[in-house]
Amino acid sequence: MVSSLFSRLPSLLTVTDEQAMWRVKMDDDPQAFARLVQRWQGPIQRLCIKMLGDAHRAEDLTQEAFTRVFARRKDYEPAGRFSTFLWRIALNLCYDELRKIKRRGESSLEGNADERGEIEFVADIAGPDLQVVREERAEHVRRALLQVSEPYRVVVILRHYEGLKFREIGEVLDIPEGTVKSRMVEALNQLSRLLKPLMNDE
């Protein structure tokens, strides 16, 4: 198995996302699709968690996003970037889910960690007290992010956590780059107010 993996490694390394998606579109290539899932499920899950604040729903939505990618493979235009295609699908699912939550009158802020979908933060070598403090700070940031309204929150997540350029975010959201920057300014201003207590702690 290891030898076969190594024999496939050069071809895996040279295939871009767009080429892989083209193979999925034209030949229903399961290996190419598996490669896309393997590469992108982490970023998509992170996006969903930060948009929804709920790890369980985020996992379900991530699976749903890839299911949709496969179902809509014929709609993929090779001129466009695969990532833009995928981010859009995932974001639309997040928006749908947030609308459902609003309709049901739920709040993703409510409930303890177990009820919401447990999110475990990667532990490092630190004493239990320090670990508790870090988890509290993380929880505070999570809540602050969820208080920022969706159009601004999505820009912060894509720019700050996922490292997309403002231009790329504009392509994903189909809005001008200047609007993306304006939203980022507003988001940072809101977060500055919400996270003030944590800044003083440092």
12 φ, ψ (degrees, to nearest 5): -65, -40
Number of shown-chain residues binding another protein (CB under 8 A) = 52
The three state secondary structure string of 11-64 is HHHHCCHHHHHHHHHHHCCHHHHHHHHHHHHHHHHHHHHHHHCCHHHHHHHHHH
Query: Least separation, in Å, of the C-beta of 1 and another protein?
Result: 5
Nearer to another protein, 15 or 195 (CB): 195
Q: Which of 97, 89, 98 is nearest to 44 (CA)?
A: 89
Residue 108: strand, helix, or coil: coil
Q: Which of 39, 68, 81, 88 binds another protein (CB under 8 A)?
A: 68
Interface with another protein in residues 28-47 (CB under 8 A): 28, 30, 33-34, 37, 45-46
| Residue 81 makes contact with another protein by CB under 8 A | no
Subset of 128-187 contacting another protein (CB under 8 A): 134, 137-138, 140-142, 145, 156, 159-161, 165-166, 178, 181-182, 184-185
Structure tokens given for 92: 């639309």
What single DSSP character describes residue 148? S
Locate 83 and state its tokens. Answer: 């990532």
CB nearer to another protein: give 26 or 71: 71
Q: What angle do CA 192, 194, 196 make, to 5 degrees?
A: 60
- Residue (102 or 165) nearer to another protein, CB: 165
Footprint on this chain of another protein (rule: CB under 8 A): 1-2, 28, 30, 33-34, 37, 45-46, 49-50, 55-56, 58-59, 63, 66-68, 70-71, 117-122, 134, 137-138, 140-142, 145, 156, 159-161, 165-166, 178, 181-182, 184-185, 188, 191-192, 195, 198-199, 202
